[in-house]
Amino acid sequence: MAFQKVVVAGGGVLGSQIAFQSAYCGLDTTIWLRSEGSIGRTQPKIDQLVKDYHAQIDEMAEALKKSQEEGEPMPTGAWAMGIADPDNFDPDACHKKVDEATKNLCLELDMAKAVEDADVVVESMAEQEKAKIDFYKKLAPLMPAKTVLVTNSSSLLPSTFARYTGRPDRYLAMHFANHIWKNNIAEVMAQSKTSAASFDAVIGFAKKIRMVPLPVHKEKAGYLLNSMLIPFLFSAMDLYVNGISDPESIDTAWVRGTGSPNGPFQILDVVGLVTAYNIVQPYTKIPGFVAPYNFKGISAMLKKKIDAGETGVAAGKGFYDYSQK
Amino acid sequence: MAFQKVVVAGGGVLGSQIAFQSAYCGLDTTIWLRSEGSIGRTQPKIDQLVKDYHAQIDEMAEALKKSQEEGEPMPTGAWAMGIADPDNFDPDACHKKVDEATKNLCLELDMAKAVEDADVVVESMAEQEKAKIDFYKKLAPLMPAKTVLVTNSSSLLPSTFARYTGRPDRYLAMHFANHIWKNNIAEVMAQSKTSAASFDAVIGFAKKIRMVPLPVHKEKAGYLLNSMLIPFLFSAMDLYVNGISDPESIDTAWVRGTGSPNGPFQILDVVGLVTAYNIVQPYTKIPGFVAPYNFKGISAMLKKKIDAGETGVAAGKGFYDYSQK
Ligand SMILES: NC(=O)c1ccc[n+]([C@@H]2O[C@H](COP(=O)([O-])OP(=O)(O)OC[C@H]3O[C@@H](n4cnc5c(N)ncnc54)[C@H](O)[C@@H]3O)[C@@H](O)[C@H]2O)c1
Ligand SMILES: NC(=O)c1ccc[n+]([C@@H]2O[C@H](COP(=O)([O-])OP(=O)(O)OC[C@H]3O[C@@H](n4cnc5c(N)ncnc54)[C@H](O)[C@@H]3O)[C@@H](O)[C@H]2O)c1
């Protein structure tokens, strides 16, 4: 069952990217939005994506030309795998696909109409449990039997919602990363009731829209990436708050020791300290003698920096100062 | 108190590198060895380092020339910061320093003679607690008062040994990384009795021999890098042994999500699965309801691969197959 008709519910940061990428890959794509006001906020995001994709294609054409002239491998940062493969790249064809994407894409306020023939509905609404449940309850009776429903939720588990969807066997998670045309991975995660057929269909859909599908066979908070990233960031903050060393030295140890482009405190500045603070809160309730890290100390340290307005790159200051740039 | 006279105890993989780097940086360096047999094993290591340094300098000269001709930044992998800075690089002078290093360096069997005027003794003997204690007991009465003693031990804590050194205030850890001319970091770690003066002197010594010193103000098993790397590798193996996903997908999530050159299973293959197995053993004793990871499952998985001879890159197969290369 190859998906042809795609519906994205929610036209926020991620919803608009998922829908645009799907349309770029030639699929008939609808964004369902709840109000006229939402259209006014989503349309400019689409317009911006059109510009971003065109600019990215030009950049890739230039990087490829340069690397061919010099017989050098292309700098890895230059390429957006969501847009094209480097060894089979036709800039004109890609520009054309961007223009056609705008034709493949429509915005719709009527939920019944949006999903009436949907192969897949990608729920990418704000991260609020109650709002998602309300949405699923309304949506369930409107979808045809064939529709597979996926959630892009970063932190809520699909098992929380399966019973409201009217199709637990055709409900799972498909988790994208911001800037999906560059960070083209999709973590495809089953919950206990998900059927193998719908899991496989979503893996196929991920490939169809040029994502690298990462199968997650059992439900796991944090999927793959955050299941590793969060304890890693905790271990780094633990070194700092326990007075073992300072952020800069800890980052240097990681960067020099593993060849990674960024150390944990540089990553935290990008993620934002408010997000990090929210993530650590539930852990502060673990009794100290069992907790693998000094979560209370980590929480207090982040709180202090947040209170001082040092919330990360976006604020101009976090663990590092970005005001000079 | 700038160190001029350096003694390295132990001429193994790391000892020979530390001694050669110290001699390369113009310091009067002695390797103390326990027997004629040790000389026969250490001298070829030194001879190899002479070749490696010369070859590295030629490689750097070529990379620099090429990047200047093309006005491109140098590929980061090409440079060995332990040998020279890229913006102040004189290949001939570096080659000369290598030749002089062999003159600055001597091998000595008489412990008393080796350390009689030592500013610093770097203990880099095999990772055996008892052998290190025996060595410290013999060494303690032979060192002059000024000598600062450091251990390069990766997994034993300096507080275990401080009482045998006759100078707990002038005893600390200085932990190097393999291939120190490229991986030029030195984790400098105090134990509770280490004086600020000797800590600072070792930081200065690290800089003098072109290491980036990473201060570790309190004793911490695993220093900085392994304190982050080990839980990170555990979190990845946990995903695998719990059936959440497969090594390749987990690596892809990490590499694509963080821009790192290697995922956790690629790192494990380099580290070697036997080392990973040894590291996990003490954790398997943590009761399951408290353990943050499925350590017993991780241990069993590693054991099975080790029994099958799949111990990592060195064996041609680990989580990945290297036999084709
Ligand atoms: N931002 C990221 O980097 C990222 C990455 C991966 C996954 N996600 C997940 O994607 C989802 C959306 O995140 P986002 O960053 O695009 O958020 P956003 O705030 O940019 O967009 C949320 C969208 O949901 C709509 N919405 C909110 N409440 C609604 C309701 N009651 N009914 C209908 N529509 C409603 C909003 O109008 C908006 O279009 C979340 O589940 C989030 O966890 C986000
Ligand atoms: N190999 C690494 O990557 C690495 C990295 C950082 C730190 N270290 C640490 O450096 C130390 C040495 O490691 P290595 O890899 O060089 O080991 P190695 O096995 O290559 O060398 C050990 C040296 O110790 C000598 N030695 C052993 N027992 C002795 C004794 N009783 N008396 C005198 N000399 C004795 C051996 O002759 C040999 O020269 C260890 O503490 C290790 O934890 C190793």
CATH number at residue B158: 3.40.50.720
Average pLDDT over residues A147-171: 97
Which of A157, A242, A245 to mutate to test binding with chain B, by most B CBs within 10 Å of its CB? A245
Q: Is the pLDDT of residue A76 over 80?
A: no
Check B212 against A245: CB less than 8 A apart. no
CA A279 to centroid of ligand 1, rounded, Å:
18
Which residues surround ligand 1 with Cβ inside 6 Å?
A: A 10-15, 34, 38, 124-127, 131, 135, 152-154, 175-176, 178
Q: Is the pLDDT of residue A195 over 70?
A: yes
Domain match, A206 and A235 both: no
Strand, coil or helix: what is B285? helix
Domain match, B71 and B144 both: yes
Contacts (Cβ under 8 Å, ≥6 apart) of A92: none
Per-residue CA distances from B129 to A272, B10, B135, B224 (Å): 44, 14, 10, 22
pLDDT for position B195: 98
Among the partner residues A184, A220, A254, nearest to B228 by beta-carbon distance: A254
Ligand 2 pocket check for B226: Cβ under 6 Å: no
Give the bridge partners for B108, in sequence order. B32
pLDDT for position B56: 97
Domain match, B249 and B132 both: no
Q: How many structural domains is chain B composed of? A: 2
pLDDT for position A78: 77
- Predicted TM-score (pTM) of the model is 0.92
Domain match, A86 and A193 both: yes
| Measured distance CA(B222)–CA(B230) in Å, rounded | 8
At which of A194, A216, A238 does a domain end? A216
pLDDT for position A1: 66
pLDDT for position A231: 96
Structural domain that includes position B89: 5-216
Residue B216 CA to its chain's centroid (Å):
15
Q: Is the pLDDT of residue B209 over 70?
A: yes
Instruction: Give domain status of residue B325, yes or no.
Output: no
Give every strand in the sheet of A105-108, ordered side by side. A105-108, A28-32, A5-9, A120-123, A148-151, A171-176, A185-189, A212-216
Strand, coil or helix: what is B9? strand
Mode of pairing for the β-strands spanning A105-108 and A120-123: unpaired
pLDDT for position B1: 66
What is the DSSP annotation of B195-247?
-HHHHHHHHHHHHHTT-EEEEE-S--TTTTHHHHHHHHHHHHHHHHHTTS--H
Mode of pairing for the β-strands spanning B148-151 and B120-123: parallel
pLDDT, tens digit (0-9, with 9 covering 90-100), for B123-146: 999 999 999 999 999 999 999 999
pLDDT, tens digit (0-9, with 9 covering 90-100), for B50-87: 999 999 999 999 998 888 887 777 776 779 999 999 88
Domain match, B44 and B192 both: yes
Contacts (Cβ under 8 Å, ≥6 apart) of A208: A2, A3, A25, A27
Domain match, A173 and A261 both: no
Given a contact cutoff of 8 angstroms between Cβ atoms, the answer to whether B127 and B154 are in contact is yes
pLDDT, tens digit (0-9, with 9 covering 90-100), for A280-324: 999 999 988 888 999 999 999 999 999 999 999 999 999 999 997
Strand, coil or helix: what is A24? helix
Domain match, B161 and B278 both: no
Check B239 against A261: CB less than 8 A apart. no
pLDDT for position B187: 98
Containing A222, the helix (H) or strand (E) segment is none
Structure confidence at residue A13 as a pLDDT band (50, 70, 90): very high
Instruction: Give domain status of residue A221, yes or no.
Output: no
Q: Tell me, what CATH number does A238's domain have?
A: 1.10.1040.10
Q: Which of B123, B129, B154 to mutate to test the pocket of ligand 2 (most atoms within 8 A of CB)?
A: B154
Which of B230, B232, B251 to mutate to test binding with chain A, by most A CBs within 10 Å of its CB? B232
Domain match, A122 and A145 both: yes
- The tokens of A140 are what? 């369930």
Check A253 against B187: CB less than 8 A apart. yes
Q: Which of A33, A107, A154 to mutate to test the pocket of ligand 1 (most atoms within 8 A of CB)?
A: A154
pLDDT, tens digit (0-9, with 9 covering 90-100), for A83-99: 999 888 999 999 999 99
Compare all CA atoms of chain A with the CA of B186 and give the residue at the minimum distance. Answer: A253
Q: How far is A34 from chain B (nearest CA, A)?
A: 32
Domain match, B206 and B246 both: no
Average pLDDT over residues B89-102: 97
Q: Is the pLDDT of residue B325 over 70?
A: no
Domain match, B151 and B111 both: yes
CA A154 to centroid of ligand 1, rounded, Å:
10
Q: Is the pLDDT of residue A325 over 70?
A: no
At which of B216, B236, B255 does a domain end? B216
Structure confidence at residue B191 as a pLDDT band (50, 70, 90): very high
Q: Is the pLDDT of residue B17 over 70?
A: yes
Instruction: Give domain status of residue A324, yes or no.
Output: no
Residue B145: CB atoms within 10 A of its CB come to 7
Domain match, B240 and B151 both: no
Q: How far is A223 from chain B (nearest CA, A)?
A: 9
At which of B173, B188, B216 does a domain end? B216
Kindly identify the ligand whose nearest atom is closest to the C-alpha of A130: 1
Instruction: Give domain status of residue B144, yes or no.
Output: yes
Provide the residue type at B116 as one letter: E
